[in-house]
Amino acid sequence: MILSQLRRRRARALALATGILVAATSFTLLTSTVTTSQAQTTGLVQRNARSAYDVLVRPPGTDTAVERQRGLVQANFLSGVFGGITLDQYRRIKNMAGVQIAAPVANIGYLMVDGILRVDVSRFLDGTAPAQLLRLKPRLSAGLGNYPVADQYVYLTRNPIAVRDDLMAETGMTGLDQETAADGRKYWVCWYYNGDKSDTALGRDGKTLTPQAEPPYNPTPKSPYDADARARMTCQSGKGKATAEIPVAFPVLLSAVDPAAEDRLVGLGDAVTSGRMLTEEDRPVWAPDPWDDGPVSSRQHDYQVPVMLSSHTLTGGTLKATVERLDAGAPAALPAKLGSPAAHTFVNGLHGTTVGQVTADLDPAFQSANKAWNFNAGSYWTVGPVDYGTTAAGLAARTRPAQPSGVWQNGLGGSLRTDIPEENSGPQYRTVTNRPSTDCMAVRTCSGADSGRAPVPTLRPVGRYDTAKLRGFSALSDVPLETYRSPQATGADAASRTALGNQPMRPDRNLGGYLAPPPTLLTTLDSISAFTHSRHTPTAQEKAPVSAIRIRVAGVTGVDPASRARVNSVAGQIRAAYPQLHVEVTVGSSPAPQTIELPSHIRISENWAAKGVALRILRAVDTKSAVLFVLILVVCALFLAQAALASVRSRRTEIGTLRCVGWSASEVLRLILGELAVIGLVAGALGSLLAYALGALLGLRHSAAEAALVLPVALLLALAAGLLPAWRATRLGPLDAVTAPVTATRRATAVRSVPGLALRNLLRVRGRTLLGAAGLALGVAAFTVLLSLTLAFRGEVAGSLLGDAVIARARAADYLSVALSLLLGAAGAVDVLVLSQRERAADLAVLRATGWTNRELARLSLYEGLGLALLGGLTGAAAGLATVVTLGQGVLSGHLAGVAAATLLAIAAAVLLVCGALTIPIRSQSRIAPARVLAVD
């Protein structure tokens, strides 16, 4: 009976099979797409969840209000932190269960490293002159600033010049001995200009132009940026080759680390480019000064501290100089003029002719610092953190007044230093504190005013390292490695990028600047006291020198439950032992760009670290995938239910006849469900093949076994969808089933337009109208909910590099699910309208027989579709928005306007889909002759 019915009603069976095929295949493909997207996202997160360390421990009060409010770790989190954790606390944390690596960083302070920038000016020489002078007028470009630099001079002579003091030559303070053929005398050329600009120095007899034993060094500078005090002259002998040697000072942050822990954490040993790696055995040694050439027994002794220096500066800066050839008069007279106390006045007053420009990066000057005397530990500085305010666009860095001049003094109340980089005259964001040293020398323990303190140590370089050779970590989960990497920021808008020269903004040499350079000079933990105990005034660093501890937890592979439990266990132990310390779980963190506003309307984007991004992504992905699964299932099931209902309703007379000839209700139920089961099996078999082919084409994670799931899905969907219509069919009595339904008449109302008649038709059979609208409403509601969840998902995980990468991968599955839910809803509405047309075929034939044209009948059908689509679309939009609101958690936060606009577009799309799909049955209906329809009725 079942097979005969299917053969006799092939068109109906084929249509229903097609619907089951589309719904089952779509359901399988979509759920597979969601699963694949979820698996890809989970894999992406797991692969990029592990960074250099899993837990960060900072001193109390070092987390800022902005970090607490936004769940972030500041990009420059280590800057401005000088101590706060004791060595005993570090040792106890290091030995806690589950701690694989505990790497401390103890920031000591910024000290000056002196280098020489050598600039070739040979091409600007007069090749015929036996002696000549060049003047360089430089300007420094660093960060967002452009600063004037003191004039620099080059004296080139063909007569030989002998260096009288190698040490003075290294420091740029050399006196040079030149013998001239003119008078046979020797002159200390360059010494007076560089060493004594007072214009008053004479020899002991008051006549001989030889340097004094202890000459004054320049007049007292009026500021640390006194250009005249910084002006230098390079004196050379030769022909056609001249180099300006410009002294450049670099404030370098000295930090103490555990060498073994750093090597295990980031592979510091593999980054050594010269010399050797620091070891745990490296500690201060009481030894003779390295620059003392006297007998060992009489050499001055100091504490010598082993250090490693970066091979490149981590601060940016470019020097651009205009070169002038000076009108110095007769070349033969130059040695006497330069070897005179009046050399300063003479050289500065010379007229020059511009002959060109030269540009040089400051990094070669940093590379030249390789001797103990290049490091000055007499004074060092500590700096405070940046203070932020909030704006509509992000954060605003607050500036501070200029640093007081006492910050740049030599020792307590000493003269102003003149090696302070020019950038320190720029905008200030941090407080700078001078840590002057004791005044004692060559003794192990000071006496007098510094009683009990220690002398200033000297630094002994043992090696250099290249930060670019450190072990790499995923850019999506990178957390600040401030011990090694220079922070960078990019322009957040076109104007800011132009101001930055379309280059990233790097730290400069401004101690109070916004971007603080990371530690560039490393020593060991055993060396900390050599610096902190040599300060004239004790600091808190002596008791608690450690600034941060970076912890890598044993057994952690990502953000899986076991790894999270291990990390949380270690973090819990630290919090229990030291509740005052600030403990942050950084595993699963990701760079989160923050917009920072600087003065002059400069806006930069800086990579802070968002904590817990990976875990939030996985939770959001699981939630979104579950919602997608349920909504797709409901939409497919409702679509099939409408198709099955249409099939049963079209067989009303047939079912009634069967009941009249003695068929029981259960037999009718089995007949209908049996037909649906056969159709479902056939559609499922075809759907399995189709799903497998489409899955392979779309690159989904499909196998033959997964594609075969279409068969049981199709069967279950067919039976579930037909159960209610079949049960309703069995509830009809035999006579009711074979008798056409008659609607009770009401007061007649004149209908004077086609839209009015369409509205009357929709209202006449409200149940059918509501059924058709329900499918479309569910599609639009699903669209609204899915769109809101997608936007909320992106809002929850966006803002970090890992979140942005996840969003890019999850987008296709989201849009495919949204589009199909809307298409299936529209298809269900069209199915109901087609059923209505078939049941009213006689009515439509009468209208055509009484003079209605095909165009008017088409308009009638389109108006009915339009009304049904608007009813379903508006109802679905309202239901979807209500569902989203009930979900709470700020799902619509910041997205209400976008969701509302997209929902209106969904309603418009639903109307177009329904009306467009109706054109096919309308054309079919127009081909049927009215007489044929009326004769059948």
pLDDT tens, position by position, 311-341: 999 888 999 999 999 999 988 888 888 888 7
What are the pLDDT digits (tens) for 546-588? 999 999 999 988 777 888 888 889 999 999 999 999 998 877 7
Strand, helix or coil for residue 287: strand
pLDDT of residue 873: 82
What are the pLDDT digits (tens) for 799-814? 554 555 555 454 555 5
Residue 486: which pLDDT band, with cuts at 50, 70 and 90? confident
What are the pLDDT digits (tens) for 210-261? 444 444 556 677 888 989 889 999 998 888 899 999 999 999 999 999 999 9
Q: Is 82 in contact with 547 (CB distance < 8 Å)?
A: yes
Average pLDDT, the chain: 78
Residue 370: which pLDDT band, with cuts at 50, 70 and 90? confident
At which residue do the structure tokens 């007076």 appear?
A: 192
> Once rounded to an integer, what is the mean pLDDT over residues 173-189?
64
- Quote the longest CA-to-CA distance of the chain: 146
Residue 728: φ, ψ to 5° = -65, -35
Sign of the four-CA dihedral 286, 290, 292, 296: positive
> Once rounded to an integer, what is the mean pLDDT over residues 342-350?
91
pLDDT of residue 524: 96
* Residue 126, number of CB atoms within 10 A of its CB: 13
pLDDT of residue 161: 82
What are the pLDDT digits (tens) for 496-535? 999 888 888 889 999 999 998 888 899 999 999 999 999 9
pLDDT of residue 174: 45
Residue 783: which pLDDT band, with cuts at 50, 70 and 90? confident
Reference 610, options 596, 593, 625, 598; nearest CA is 593
pLDDT of residue 204: 46
Question: CA-to-CA distance for 155 and 187, rounded, in angstroms?
Answer: 14
pLDDT of residue 424: 94
Q: Is 513 in contact with 505 (CB distance < 8 Å)?
A: no
Residues 172-192 as b/e (b if ≥16 CB within 10 A, e otherwise) read bbbbbbbebeeeeebbbbbbb
Give yes or no for residue 789 having a pLDDT over 70: no
The pTM assigned to this predicted structure is: 0.70
C-alpha torsion 4→641→688→18, nearest 10: 60
pLDDT of residue 895: 64
Of 133-147, 202-216, 530-544, minimum mean pLDDT range: 202-216
Distances (CA, A) of 301 to 136, 291, 854: 40, 11, 112
> Once rounded to an integer, what is the mean pLDDT over residues 758-776?
72
Give yes or no for residue 279 having a pLDDT over 90: yes
pLDDT of residue 903: 76
Distances (CA, A) of 539 to 110, 455, 535, 758: 15, 16, 8, 88
Q: Is 682 in contact with 17 (CB distance < 8 Å)?
A: yes
Tokens of 421: 């980089």
Give yes or no for residue 356 having a pLDDT over 80: yes
pLDDT of residue 214: 44
Length of the chain: 937
Top-confidence residue, 17 or 674: 674
Q: Is 196 in contact with 228 (CB distance < 8 Å)?
A: no
At which residue do the structure tokens 């530690």 appear?
A: 519
Residue 170: which pLDDT band, with cuts at 50, 70 and 90? very low
pLDDT of residue 169: 44
pLDDT of residue 101: 94
At which residue do the structure tokens 């603080």 appear?
A: 516
User: Which amino acid is residue 659, in one-letter code?
Assistant: R
Question: CA-to-CA distance for 350 and 302, rounded, in angstroms?
Answer: 45
Of 146-155, 237-246, 699-708, minimum mean pLDDT range: 699-708
Beta strands in 311-415 (DSSP E): 318-326, 352-361, 375-383, 388-390, 395-397
What are the pLDDT digits (tens) for 611-668? 766 566 666 666 666 666 666 667 666 666 666 666 666 666 777 777 777 777 777 7
Residue 762: which pLDDT band, with cuts at 50, 70 and 90? confident
Give yes or no for residue 141 having a pLDDT over 80: yes
Residue 777: which pLDDT band, with cuts at 50, 70 and 90? confident
The pLDDT > 70 percentage for the chain reads 69
pLDDT of residue 577: 95
Q: Is 362 in contact with 318 (CB distance < 8 Å)?
A: yes
Identify the helix (H) or strand (E) that includes residue 713: helix 710-730
Tokens of 733: 């009595």
pLDDT of residue 744: 53
Residue 793: which pLDDT band, with cuts at 50, 70 and 90? low
* Structure letter (DSSP) for residue 456: P
Give yes or no for residue 818 having a pLDDT over 80: no
Give yes or no for residue 154 having a pLDDT over 60: yes
What are the pLDDT digits (tens) for 869-912? 888 888 888 887 777 776 555 555 566 776 777 778 778 877 88
Of 186-195, 532-541, 694-703, 808-817, minimum mean pLDDT range: 808-817
* Residue 357, number of CB atoms within 10 A of its CB: 13
pLDDT of residue 159: 83
Residue 405: which pLDDT band, with cuts at 50, 70 and 90? confident
pLDDT of residue 182: 60
> Once rounded to an integer, what is the mean pLDDT over residues 97-121?
94
Of 367-371, 399-403, 440-444, minimum mean pLDDT range: 440-444
> Once rounded to an integer, what is the mean pLDDT over residues 753-773?
72
Sign of the four-CA dihedral 428, 394, 797, 800: negative
Reference 817, options 783, 769, 777, 773; nearest CA is 783
Give yes or no for residue 208 having a pLDDT over 50: no
pLDDT of residue 553: 92
Reference 111, options 242, 252, 248; nearest CA is 252
Question: CA-to-CA distance for 460 and 449, rounded, in angstroms?
Answer: 28
pLDDT of residue 673: 78
